[in-house]
Amino acid sequence: MQELTHYINGAHVKGQSGRFADVMNPATGEVQARVPLANAEELAEAVEAAKAAQVGWAATNPQRRARVLMKFVDLLNRDMKKLAEALSREHGKTLPDAAGDVQRGLEVVEYCIGAPQMLKGEFTDAAGPGIDMYSMRQPLGVTAGITPFNFPAMIPMWMFAPAIACGNAFILKPSERDPSVPLMLAELMEEAGLPKGVLQVVNGDKEAVDAILYHPEIQSIGFVGSTPIAEYIYGTGCSQGKRVQCFGGAKNHMIVMPDADMDQAADALVGAGYGAAGERCMAISVAVPVGDKTADRLIEKLVPRIEKLKVGPYTAGDDVDYGPVVTAAAKANIERLVQTGIDQGAKLVVDGRDFKLQGYENGYFVGAHLFDHATPDMDIYKTEIFGPVLTTVRAQTYEEALKLAMDHEYGNGTAIFTRDGDTARDFANRVNVGMVGINVPIPVPLAYHTFGGWKKSVFGDLNQHGPDAFKFYTRTKTVTSRWPSGIKDGGEFSIPVME
């Protein structure tokens, strides 16, 4: 069986801890590799290499640093098929979806090629007699990121591209479920000309994460994953004096107004609810039709579309709409939540419980489910299911629908489908959710805007990518300088006031 490694100081390094996790093929349920789980000593080794490499990297001018990213983009395009294949094999998503995962990361790398522009400081000429004042953005030093299984290419790139463009060294602790693509990305960055030690991959679980949290040389931590872990990492990381940004779970509502184009809304819901088996933090998991007539029309349109969905392994090519979920535990959890929905009185209008795929009986495939008449007190509404399960909560008015989205503890994304500009505008202004779609079901901002939710979907101040990333991965230093022509005789004993 293949034994994966860490990537430390430019080399594949075998695990020393003696602990490993199985990497599964979710389509077959077979173990296809094992990944080492690092201990604190292995993490410390990576930090030492990062510290040494970061000094020279920070001193490399920003344009040269950007050229490495330019070359990296070429290499990502060259290896797109290979990366997507490796990603699908461990994650289970379809090949086009896996290529999209790489592509959305690549776009952030492209954005970071503009680092020389983003890192330009501020300058005030003649702030006082003979006095100039300037601010510069300097890298933090050694930075780290902890990423989830569901976007094993995109989310690591969202973190390491800006971190490295700003002159930091970056240690990535990817998900232990699908670690191969992150290792491939680190190799490609080195092929693009990145010096050894600037980007490293330390595989692991909680032990490696805790080592990152408590290592005094690590200046910042980026995290994306589930909310309880986000909360833990934010609290612990901040208590250790680190700069931390954590992005958590979601329960994204799509409001369907009576005037919406119902075919468009149904198509959007099917793609956003079931694409990637619902394992997206921007998936729509709650449909909120306004009025019973709208709800009946929507359900009528949804059912045949959902029943037609093709579920299968990525190897089946274009014939597949979504693949298996990531682990047997994820599948069992989805099944358990579906049962709570039935027990608590929601109406299961599309029942995927008996779904079986011939030849793939041990794979983690889950049939598509649709609930109607769910209520906010039910577990299927309160919990992030992270599977192919769409829950419909009927609202009688627009205000009631808005309140549902606003009262939910998560606030990652949301959408409204309507033909009425006033309603759309009101929704976008009032809803307390970070990313809003108007007739767009998955409103993931492009690289030059920022990505982030509100409420329990985020812990920290700055969003991912866009201009915020350059703030997160740098700190400001402000210099006040005066040259002899501006210096008066004698000392000054009061706080200087610029005249």
Question: In the complex, which residues of this chain contact ligand NAD (CB under 6 A)?
Answer: 146-151, 173, 175-176, 205-206, 209, 224-226, 229, 247-250, 281, 384, 386, 412, 453, 457
In the complex, what is the shortest distance from the CB of residue 261 to ligand NAD, in angstroms, rounded to a whole number? 29
Judged by CB, which is closer to ligand NAD: 141, or 204?
Answer: 204
Angle between helices 95-112 and 80-91 (to 10 degrees): 120
| Distance separating alpha carbons of residues 259 and 40, to the nearest angstrom | 57
Judged by CB, which is closer to ligand NAD: 206, or 419?
Answer: 206
In the complex, what is the shortest distance from the CB of residue 416 to ligand NAD, in angstroms, rounded to a whole number? 20
Place of tokens 């002899």: 484
The alpha carbons of the chain give a radius of gyration, in whole angstroms, of: 25
Judged by CB, which is closer to ligand NAD: 154, or 257?
Answer: 154
Choose the catalytic residue: 112, 166, 246, 281: 281
Judged by CB, which is closer to ligand NAD: 135, or 239?
Answer: 239
Judged by CB, which is closer to ligand NAD: 344, or 450?
Answer: 450
| Distance separating alpha carbons of residues 296 and 277, to the nearest angstrom | 25
- Closest residue to ligand NAD, judged by C-beta, is 225
What six digits make up the tokens of 76? 């990502």
In the complex, what is the shortest distance from the CB of residue 492 to ligand NAD, in angstroms, rounded to a whole number? 50
Environment class of 491 (CB within 10 Å of its CB; exposed 0-12, middle 13-18, buried 19+): exposed
Beta pairing class for 369-372 and 413-417: unpaired
Residue 413's identity, in one-letter code, is G
In the complex, what is the shortest distance from the CB of residue 129 to ligand NAD, in angstroms, rounded to a whole number? 50
What sign results for the dihedral spanned by CA atoms 77, 98, 246, 10? negative
Question: Does residue 281 have an active-site annotation?
Answer: yes
| Distance separating alpha carbons of residues 216 and 212, to the nearest angstrom | 9
In the complex, what is the shortest distance from the CB of residue 230 to ligand NAD, in angstroms, rounded to a whole number? 7
Strand partners, 123: 134
User: What residues have CB less than 8 Å from 499, skipping those under 6 apart?
Assistant: 128, 129
**How is residue 363 annotated by DSSP?**
S
In the complex, what is the shortest distance from the CB of residue 364 to ligand NAD, in angstroms, rounded to a whole number? 13
What sign results for the dihedral spanned by CA atoms 229, 275, 450, 435? negative
| Distance separating alpha carbons of residues 52 and 427, to the nearest angstrom | 50
Count CA within 13 A, CB hemisphere, residue 458: 18
DSSP readout, 208-228?
Answer: HHHHHHH-TTEEEEEEES-HH
**How many other C-beta atoms lie within 10 A of the C-beta of residue 336?**
11
Judged by CB, which is closer to ligand NAD: 17, or 226?
Answer: 226
In the complex, what is the shortest distance from the CB of residue 6 to ligand NAD, in angstroms, rounded to a whole number? 14
Judged by CB, which is closer to ligand NAD: 160, or 398?
Answer: 160
Taking alpha carbons only, the member of 23, 8, 297 closest to residue 149 is: 23
Active site residues: 281
